[in-house]
Structure 1
């Protein structure tokens, strides 16, 4: 299957907080997910309401749920990541891509563009390679995934090679200079419809650990099997470069904005997630100082969580339309 924009595999109750094209509306269909990924079956439990679920505070259960979602909805037959690396929540990750598709549609007479001529650059693709995988399977886009971690690069490359339906659509590059973000990842011959990035959130690993402990505490409270004797030690996925950087999110995105000015004619839209709402204003101020022609802030919602990404372009509307001609 070349593109699954119109796939209707799920008939669950619509959850309006997700993007309308998101395939993960409503409750998870664990019967079909277990059929797609038998490894998930031992981790599926029945909650007090009599519904099938998993213990979302158990990393292995969450990883296998992701594996099942990728197999059932996106025909990804091989997906594994090394211990300790980020295991992303797929419904939220694919939402980012759907909203980017809407952003691009402005240059295509309000139609969502599909096909490999639409090329994205994922800054920090990680070992999971989730954005390139979801983008190529949802819209048939092509991608370059970039990361500074050698094991992440090797793992992402293996995932791409192991799945025939994406093997010719995704290229993985290693950022050799850890002081750079975009610089060095865009070749002179490259032209990207968009960039995307999920930047490090925390200013230090101590902050990351504290945030993880709070998250685990909340997850345990909600755990459907009421694990009273759950492990109390710190348990979170993500390497240091995935979770933190000097100055935190705001410093990372400011550097990304500055570097974007060096390749402003080679990218139609730069985008980056912003987890903290208070970071929007200073980033917009910097973008105006850098003479960005258009700046957009797109809000997304998954359940009770509100997230957003900021998008900027140095091209005029007419130049963006011509960018794809």
Structure 2
């Protein structure tokens, strides 16, 4: 919040990173001076420079706590407080995570769980005394939540924060993960999940971290998503190394053996056994270096879809990881509609901060989410997309158009063109306008290509083009 030095982006540009476009604070940071005039309790924490710029000392826990309290009350109508020493969340950053999950749920990539009601239901792992995600999700979008935690203080204050908001209390339930029954059945489920995905001894992995889903998620329960702000560090000493922020937070909130990598790995392992209970599994990731490894673990666990994103607030960046075991909708990789071998469309009126690189990476994510192989060339701004032999044969059996063959039906499937592929290219026409071209590199499966390209067009326009156009 409040600007700061620009960070160099992945595409080499100096454009500042942007928040989620639906984030209340995306257009402008909170006006500290205006808030101080409205809320006298906040005024002592605001300093005005000679140039008239108002600022807050983010190394001061009391200041960040009062700012969070004021923002939740002023912008969200939420009454909130936490005692000294608890983790104090920043509202803009947490809002980014909520809106990203909203994007995942509104996409047509995977279907809803059949048992899901009309009300979106989320599970917050380690909700903390602040209970920030359930309070934001309920106030912004009317979602219902189960929040779990293990410490007495976190459970007490999470419940207090819920009860302080009667208009939201019916949407939020707080559960004590320590009360999870340690039945032989629960232990067996957890051990089977670990054996499938790690070579480490079962006891050291399962029992080193408190229960996440086993015994906490009830039989036959289903959720649209889970979310988590995991302990980022391996020790409290490591957590205190950043002099620019207040090192508030309990040991349970800030650190665990193995840090965030171990904690999120445990979520991934548990998710294998609860694949039918959640539409999306998600977690925040504090270190980009861990993201690639965790994506690999998710794929090894057998997830059908994996998505990532970046959360930005001022000079602070976090990453989001999401995965699902639900099969993508069939029309993502199959189509019986004949199509052309060349397609194109324009992206006009791109939102601020978006360009060819961002569009290229989003297109890559779109195809990877459909389990298609992608080879991206950032220099030529192009992606070569390849269907596996199995996907090619599936589309063939589903009636896609193939070039003429003199072979009989008994051998036709086995001789289909392997590695059917196409190329997506991004061209800048003028500032704010891009041309997206697609070319089928062989003439098989043109119907599948047409269907995929149409879905890509819809996805990119939804993500990058302003709604008022």
**TM-score, normalisation: structure 2:** 0.57
Q: Give the secondary structure class of the aligned counterpart of 2:42.
A: helix
Superposed CA RMSD:
2.2
Tell me the residue number matched to 1:90: 91
Structure with higher RCO (Cα < 8 A, 6+ apart): 1
Q: Which has the larger radius of gyration?
A: 2
> How many pairs align?
280
Conservation of the 8 A alpha-carbon contact between 1:116 and 1:142: no
Select which of 252, 263, 270 maps to 1:259: 270
How far did 1:47 drift?
Answer: 2.1
Are 1:185 and 2:186 counterparts? no
Residue number in structure 1 paired with 2:163: 161
Q: Which runs of 5+ in 1 are unaligned?
A: 1-14, 110-114, 220-234, 320-325
Contact 1:34 1:68 in 2 (8 A): no
Moved more, 185-194 or 43-52: 43-52
In structure 2, what is the Cα distance between the partners aligned to 1:263 and 1:308?
23
Asked if structure 1 preserves the Cα contact closer than 8 Å seen for 2:232 and 2:260, the reply is yes
CA drift at 1:183: 1.8
* Partner of residue 286, structure 1: 297
d(CA) in 1 for partners of 2:323, 2:173: 24
2:44 is aligned, of 42, 45, 58, to 42
What pairs up with 1:265-284 in 2 under 5 angstroms?
A: 265-284=276-295
> What stretches of structure 2 of length at least 5 have no aligned partner?
1-15, 111-116, 181-208, 331-469
The offset of 1:290, in angstroms, is 1.4
Does 1:152 find its partner at 2:154? Answer: yes
Q: Quick check: 1:116–1:140 contact (8 Å CA) kept in 2? A: no
1:317 equivalent to 2:328? Answer yes
Aligned to 2:413: none
8 Å Cα contact 1:181-1:256 kept in structure 2: yes
Query: 1:169 and 1:282, CA in 2 relative to 1: closer, same or farther beyond 3 A?
Result: same
Work out the CA distance in 1 between the residues paired with 2:292 and 2:247: 30
Which residue of 213, 235, 238 corresponds with 1:204?
235
Of 35, 57, 60, which aligns to 1:55? 57
Give the whole-Å Cα distance in 2 for the aligned partners of 1:120 and 1:80.
22
Secondary structure at 2:74's aligned position in 1?
helix
| Alpha-carbon distance, 1:36 to partner | 5.2
* Residue 121 (structure 2) aligned to one of 94, 119, 122: 119
The offset of 1:35, in angstroms, is 5.5
Output one character per residue of 1:127-186: Cα deviation in whole Å (capped at 9) or x when no partner: 000011111111111111111111101110011011112111110011106532222221
